[in-house]
Amino acid sequence: MNARQSYGRAAEETAARYLEARGWRLLGRNVRIGRGELDIVARHGSALVFVEVKARRTRACGSPEDAVTPLKRRQVARLAELWLAARPWALRGVAEVRFDVVAVDGTRRPAEVRHLQGAFTLDG
Amino acid sequence: MLARIASEALNGLEGHPVEVEADVVAAAPSFSVVGLPDAAVQESRERVRSAIVNSAYEFPSRRITINLAPADLRKEGPSFDLPIALAFLVATGQVNDGCDGRGPLAAVGELGLDGSLRPVAGALALAESLRRRGLRGLLLPAANAAEASLVRGLEVYPASTLSEAVAQLSAGGARPAPPADLAALLGSAPAGEADFSDIVGQDAVKRALEVAVAGAHNVLMSGPPGAGKTMLARRLPSIMPALTLAEAIEITRVYSVAGLLPAEAPLIARRPFRAPHHTISSPGLVGGGGTPRPGEVSLAHLGVLFLDEFPEFRLAALEGLRQPLEDGEVTISRRLTSITFPARLMLVAAMNPCPCGYLGDRERECLCPPHRLRQYGSRLSGPLLDRIDLRVEVPRVSPRDRRSERLGEGSVDVRARVARARRRQLARLAGTGIYANAHMSARHLRRLCTLEADAVALLDRAYERLHLSARACDRIVKVAQTIADLEESPTVGVAQVAESLSYRARSRHDR
């Protein structure tokens, strides 16, 4: 694991703690489906949320939110559908399903966590 | 939860029912529109989403499916924004459909991102079609309300924002628009500015134009440049008979579908006068386009289409005039549909007798080489010329007439005679759905026109001597009938047929 990858892991840890501190129940982390991976799957009240975590140490490549490209959205959306298809019971008691982005911005000290609810949908 | 809102799609002037269904379920979030939507309908998702959020409603993160039924009918344009938004709000339980037991309301309208409602094209035709289907009322943008209230027997509920539309829907229709005062709208037409008395001399031409306008017959004026052809044509609106209510509604329907209805005038109360430039394309003249739109012939419905420099028009455009001139309508065929627009126009064409303009002039010599003359004349095909009832020569104004201080007869007097003649026609044609002699079919002609015996004999002789077509013969009778109406004669006599024939005769320099 190189420095960039380990920074990513650390950011996912930050995001998970951030969500848990706000009463979210994490159903899975780094859920592998085929070649893809869902960063965090969580329940928050009646919502089932798929969370994509993005982290940036510098501004050289833009903000972390900008890193969730249309390709990435499509990947996450497809993985979420596969995840749901394998677990029909997961929708029990669920009123809404969401895709959120948690951005860990390392350009500030301490690192700032920004949470974008409903960042995207299946159709973009 | 599932919700339904009634709406209507337009194919030309014809309405088709569309049911907008919204289904909202807890699943991976998406917002899709199905049911053969075109690009504008697909984009409606973005407008609806913004309008809902900016009107302080919730846009929940669930799977939202909008179906526009029936699925085999192409849905075009932005008019489904409002029914989609309303169906969505009912499906998510944010609004109650308050129409229970009273019959549903239909909705049309385009949404702005801020939730404002923008007017849609064709509201009159939509409202008429909904009334025929027996729907109780229509929820639509406030800017379309005056136009839709022209329709009797349909409640019209205007709204200027999505929130207002929601309020109307949840009350099952709370504040209807007042029905239009049709008589006042019809009477509000301003009179023409330019007057016939501006033109000195040219009495024969003026008589021919009076006959043409009285019966809505087609005219071709031919003469040297500067003789006054354009001036005469531009003054035709000042002698045209007032519109009947039925005519005004027919014209308004076309303008509404074309999106050309002025905001301050929901009813077109004056006969149209269209004068497209001779560079116009064939679809521009007869109608067409990917989503067929009415062309100039339809925008001139029950009015005048003035084509100056007639032979300079594109051949395709000229030949495209044949069907509207004969049938009074235009049919545009596309892969999946064919659309018919009305086009009962009065064609007024003007041309020079030759490219240089002086062929047949008394004082000036024509400089055109013979082959140019042949070319010029041959641009107007026999079948096209056959559909023109009156051909008149407009000579150069004589020096004495030009200096004359005497004014010609004013438009008011001419219009009075024309109006009287048109009233006789309307009485005779009552119940046929047509308003002028020129639009009579061969059957109307036999049933409604009484020719005196010597008039029939003259017509028979002319038919043989002049090698007229059967169509030309019918048209001669129609013009003769109009002349009889101007003279308030119950039958068509030999004098009227003779005058009619004189307009049909080929002029000296016709091929």
B29 to A84: CB separation less than 8 angstroms, yes or no: no
Residue B183 pLDDT class (50, 70, 90 cuts)? confident
Considering only CB atoms, B30 lies closest to which of A47, A91, A123, namely: A123
Is residue B200's pLDDT more than 70? yes
Residue B171: pLDDT over 80: yes
Q: Is B18 left (phi over 0), alpha (psi -120 to 50) or beta?
A: beta
Task: Select the residue from A97, A98, A116 to test the B interface by mutation, using most B Cβ atoms within 10 A.
Answer: A97
Structure confidence by residue, pLDDT tens digits, B262-300: 888 889 999 999 999 999 999 999 998 878 899 999 999
Residues of chain A in contact with residue B28, where contact means CB-CB under 8 angstroms, are 77, 80-81, 84, 97, 99, 121-122
Look at residue B334 in the predicted model and tell me its pLDDT.
Answer: 81
């008011």: which residue's tokens? B412
Mutate to test the interface with A, among B49, B59, B61 (most CBs of A within 10 A): B61
CB pairs under 8 A between A and B: 44
**Per the CB < 8 Å rule, is A121 touching B26?**
no
Q: B220: distance to nearest CA of chain A, Å?
A: 59
CA distance B316 to B318: 6
DSSP string, B163-227: HHHHHHHHTTS-SPPPPP-HHHHHHTPPPPSS-GGGS-S-HHHHHHHHHHHHHT--EEEE--TTS
Distance between CA atoms of residues B482 and B436, nearest Å: 9
B49 at the A interface (CB within 8 A)? no
Question: How far is B27 from chain A, CA to nearest CA, in Å?
Answer: 6
Which pLDDT belongs to residue B511? 40
Is B28–A96 a contact, with Cβ atoms under 8 angstroms apart? no
What residues does CATH 3.40.50.300 cover in chain B?
Answer: 196-504
For residues B332 and B320, what is the distance between their CA atoms, to the nearest angstrom?
Answer: 11
Backbone dihedral region for residue B407 (phi beyond 0: left; psi -120 to 50: alpha; all else: beta)? beta
Report the distance separating Cα B122 and Cα B14, nearest Å: 10
> What value of ipTM does the predicted structure carry?
0.73
Of B30, B32, B60, the CB nearest to A96: B60
Give contacts of A121 with chain B, Cβ < 8 Å. 28-31, 61
Q: Which CATH class is domain B196-504?
A: alpha beta
Scan residues 17-36 of B and list those with Cβ closer than 8 Å to A: 26-32
Strands B63-69 and B14-25: antiparallel
Instruction: State in Å, rounded, how far the first CA of chain A is from the last one.
Output: 32
Environment class of residue B399 by beta-carbon count within 10 Å: exposed (0-12), middle (13-18) or buried (19+)? exposed
Higher pLDDT, B66 or B361: B66
Unique residue bearing structure tokens 């499916």: B65
- What's the confidence (pLDDT) of residue B510? 45
Helical residues (DSSP H) of B344-489, grouped into ranges: 370-378, 382-386, 399-403, 411-428, 442-448, 453-465, 470-486
Look at A97 and B60 and tell me if their CB atoms are within 8 Å. no
For Cα atoms A95, A99, A103, give the angle at the middle one, nearest 5 degrees. Answer: 135
Q: Please, are residues B151 and B128 in contact by the beta-carbon 8 Å criterion?
A: yes
Backbone angles phi and psi of B397, in degrees to 5: -65, 130
CATH number of B2-170: 3.30.230.10
Contact between chains at B28 and A77 (C-beta distance less than 8 A): yes
How far is Cα B424 from Cα B489, in angstroms, rounded to an integer?
Answer: 10
The minimum CA-CA distance between A95 and chain B, rounded to whole Å, is: 5
Provide the phi-psi class of B259: left if phi over 0, else alpha when psi is between -120 and 50, else beta: left
Are the Cβ atoms of A96 and B61 closer than 8 angstroms? yes
Nearest to A91 among B26, B29, B31 (CB): B26
Chain A residues with CB under 8 Å of B31 CB are 121, 123
Distance to chain B for A13, nearest Cα, Å: 25
Q: Do B62 and A80 touch (CB under 8 A)?
A: no
Strands B338-342 and B105-107: unpaired
Using a CB-CB cut-off of 8 Å, the residues of chain A touching B30 are: 121-123
- Which residues lie below 8 Å from residue B74, measured CB to CB, with a gap of 6+? B36, B38, B336, B337
* Mean pLDDT (whole number) for B449-468: 91
Percent of chain B with pLDDT over 90: 66
Distances (CA, A) of B117 to B48, B79, B354, B360: 11, 10, 54, 61
Judged by CB atoms closer than 8 Å, whether chains meet at A123 and B32 is answered as: yes
State yes or no: pLDDT of B508 exceeds 60: no
Contact A47 B61 (CB under 8 A): yes
- More confident site: B484 or B174: B484
Q: Is the pTM of this model over 0.80?
A: yes
In chain A, which residues touch B (CB < 8 A)?
Answer: 47, 77, 80-81, 84, 91, 94-99, 118, 121-123
The confidence score (pLDDT) of residue B190 equals 67
Q: What is the pLDDT of residue B506?
A: 59
Listed in order, the ranges of chain B carrying CATH 3.30.230.10 are 2-170
User: Which residue among A97, A99, A123 sits closest to B27, beta carbon to beta carbon?
Assistant: A97
Beta bridge partners of A97: A48
Residues of chain B found within 8 Å of residue A98, distances taken between Cβ atoms:
29, 61
Q: What angle do CA A75, B29, B114 make, to 5 degrees?
A: 115
| Helix H or strand E encompassing B232 | helix B229-234
Q: What is the pLDDT of residues B348-394, one digit of tens each?
A: 999 998 888 888 777 888 888 988 888 887 888 888 998 999 999 99
Quote the tokens at residue B89.
């709000």
Chain B: closest CA distance from residue A58 (Å): 32
What's the Cα-to-Cα distance from B303 to each of A115, B201, B216, B375, B381, rounded to whole Å?
A: 64, 26, 8, 31, 24
Is the pLDDT confidence value at B509 over 70? no
For B109-123, the pLDDT digits (tens) are: 999 999 999 999 999
pLDDT at position A66 is 81
pLDDT of residue B191: 63
Q: How far is A117 from chain B (nearest CA, A)?
A: 10
Chain A, nearest residue to B29 by Cα: A121
Residue pointed to by tokens 């386009």: B289
Where does the pLDDT of residue B256 fall: very low under 50, low under 70, confident under 90, or very high at 90 and above? very high
CB distance B123 to B108 below 8 Å: yes
Closest chain B CA to residue A95: B26
A39 vs chain B: nearest CA distance in angstroms? Answer: 16
- pLDDT surpassing 90 at residue B48: yes
Average pLDDT, chain B: 90
Give the mean model confidence (pLDDT) for residues B245-249: 93
Q: What are the pLDDT digits (tens) for B90-141?
A: 999 999 888 777 788 999 999 999 999 999 999 999 999 999 999 999 999 9
| Segments of chain A scoring below 70 in pLDDT | 124
Whether B62 contacts chain A with CB within 8 A: yes
Identity of the residue in A80, A84, A98 whose CB atom sits nearest the CB atom of B61: A98
Q: What is the pLDDT of residues B461-484, one digit of tens each?
A: 999 988 888 889 999 999 999 999
d(CA A95, CA B55): 22
Subunit contact B29:A80, Cβ cutoff 8 A: no
